[in-house]
Structure 1
Amino acid sequence: MFRLAHLSDLHLGPLPDITYRELASKRITGYVNWQRNRRKAIHNGVTDALLHDMGEHNIDHLAVTGDLVNLALDAEIEVARDWLTMAGAPERLSVVPGNHDAYVPGALRKACKAWRPWMTGEKTHIRQSETGFPYLRSNGQVALIGVSSAHATAPFLALGTFRDEQAASVAKLLDVAAERGLFRVIMIHHPPVRGLTTAHKRLYGIGLFQKTIAQHGAELILHGHTHDPTLTWIEGKGHRVPVLGVTAAGQSTGGDKPPAQYNLVEIDGKPGAWRVTHSRRGIKGQLPTFIVEGSDPEDLFSAPQFDAK
Structure 2
Amino acid sequence: MHNITKIGHLTDIHYSYPENITIKQLMSKRLYGYIFWKLSKGKRFDFSMLKEIKEDIKKEQLDHIVVTGDLTQLCLPEEFYKVKTFLQSLHSQENISIIPGNHDFYVSEGKKHFYKEFQLQYPFVKIINNCALIGVNSAVVTPPVVSYGYLTQSQIKKLQEITERLDNRYFNILLIHHPPINGITFWNKALINTKEIIKILKTGIINLVLYGHIHRFSIRYFFSINGKIPVISASPLAYTLRKHNQIGGYNIYEINRANNKWRLIIKRKTYNFQTKSFDVETFDFFIFS
Distance 2:126 2:106 in 1: 26
Tell whether the 8 Å contact from 2:134 to 2:174 is kept in structure 1 after alignment. yes
TM-aligned CA deviation for residue 270 of structure 1: 6.3
1:230-245 correspondence runs (5 A)? 230-245=218-233
* Residues paired across the two proteins, number: 285
Q: Which residue of 1 aligns with 2:252?
A: 264
Name 2:278's counterpart in structure 1.
291
Cα separation, partners in 2 of 1:20 and 1:300, compared to 1, 3 Å:
farther
Q: 1:113 to 1:70 in 2, by over 3 A?
A: same
Distance (whole Å) between structure 1 residues aligned to residue 235 and residue 33 of structure 2 = 20
**Quick one: distance in 1 between partners of 2:221 and 2:283?**
17
Cα distance between partner residues in 1 of 2:245 and 2:219: 16
Stretch deviating more after TM superposition (250-259 or 181-190): 250-259
Q: Check whether the contact 2:166–2:205 (CA below 8 A) recurs between aligned residues.
A: no
- The residue type paired with residue 166 of structure 1 is Q
Residue 290 of structure 1: CA displacement?
2.7
The reply on whether 1:183 has 2:167 as its aligned counterpart is: no
8 Å Cα contact 2:265-2:282 kept in structure 1: no
Structure 2 counterpart of 1:140, from 129, 134, 140: 129
Q: 186, 205, 215: which one pairs with 2:203?
A: 215
Matching of residues 84-163 of structure 1 within 5 Å:
84-116=87-119, 119=120, 132-163=121-152
Q: Please state if 1:45 is matched with 2:48.
A: yes
Q: Which amino acid aligns with 2:210?
A: L
Question: More deviation in 222-231 or 246-255?
Answer: 246-255
Q: Which amino acid aligns with 2:131?
A: V
1:146-205 deviation per Cα after TM superposition (whole angstroms, max 9, x unaligned) = 1100011011111110243212211222233327x1111111000112121112111111
> Separation in 2 of the partners of 1:240 and 1:255?
28
- CA distance in structure 2 between the partners assigned to 1:168 and 1:250 by the alignment: 35
Aligned to 1:3: 6
CA 1:190–1:37: 2 relative to 1, 3 Å: same
Distance 1:54 1:78 in 2: 20
Q: Identify if the C-alpha distance between structure 1 residues 271 and 114 changes in structure 2 by more than 3 Å, giving closer, same or farther.
A: farther
The alpha carbon displacement at 1:8 in A equals: 0.1
Percent identity between the aligned chains?
Answer: 26
3-state SS, counterpart of residue 108 of structure 2: coil
Q: Offset of 1:263 from its aligned partner?
A: 1.3
Determine the C-alpha separation between the residues in 2 that align with 1:244 and 1:270.
Answer: 23
Q: TM-score, normalised by structure 2?
A: 0.92
Distance in 2 (CA, whole Å) between partners of 1:45 and 1:246 is 19
CA distance, structure 2, for counterparts of residue 255 and residue 221 of structure 1: 24
2:235 alignment counterpart: 247
How many angstroms apart in 2 are the aligned matches of 1:200 and 1:252? 25
Provide closer, same or farther for how the CA distance between residues 76 and 62 of structure 1 changes in structure 2, counting only shifts above 3 A: same
Matched, 1:62 2:65: yes
Q: CA, structure 1 residues 109+173, in 2 after alignment: closer, same or farther (shift >3 Å)?
A: farther
- RMSD (CA atoms): 2.1
Change in Cα spacing, 1:44 to 1:255, as seen in structure 2 (3 Å) is farther
Extract structure 1 runs of 4+ deviating beyond 3 A.
253-257
Determine the C-alpha separation between the residues in 1 that align with 2:162 and 2:223: 18
Which ranges in structure 1 are unaligned for 5 or more consecutive residues?
Answer: 120-131, 303-309
Match of 1:273 among 261, 264, 272: 261
1:192 aligns with 2:165: no
Which whole-Å CA distance do the structure 2 matches of 1:280 and 1:300 have between them? 17
Paired residue for 2:79? 76
Aligned to 1:173: 162
- Aligned match of 1:203: 191
Q: Tell me the distance in 2 between the aligned counterparts of 1:12 and 1:215.
A: 37
Q: CA deviation at 1:48?
A: 3.2
Partner of 1:124: none
Does the aligned pair in 1 maintain the 2:57–2:90 contact within 8 Å?
Answer: no
Per the TM alignment, residue 271 of structure 1 is displaced from its structure 2 partner at its CA by 9.4
Residues 76 and 285 from structure 1, CA distance in 2 versus in 1: closer, same or farther, beyond 3 angstroms? closer
Displacement after TM superposition at 1:243 (Å): 0.5
Contact map agreement 2:239 2:248 (CA 8 A) in 1: yes
State the shift of 1:217 in Å: 1.8
Contact 2:101 2:177 in 1 (8 A): yes
Residue segments in structure 2 that go unaligned for 5+ positions in a row? none
Deviates most, 271-280 or 25-34: 271-280
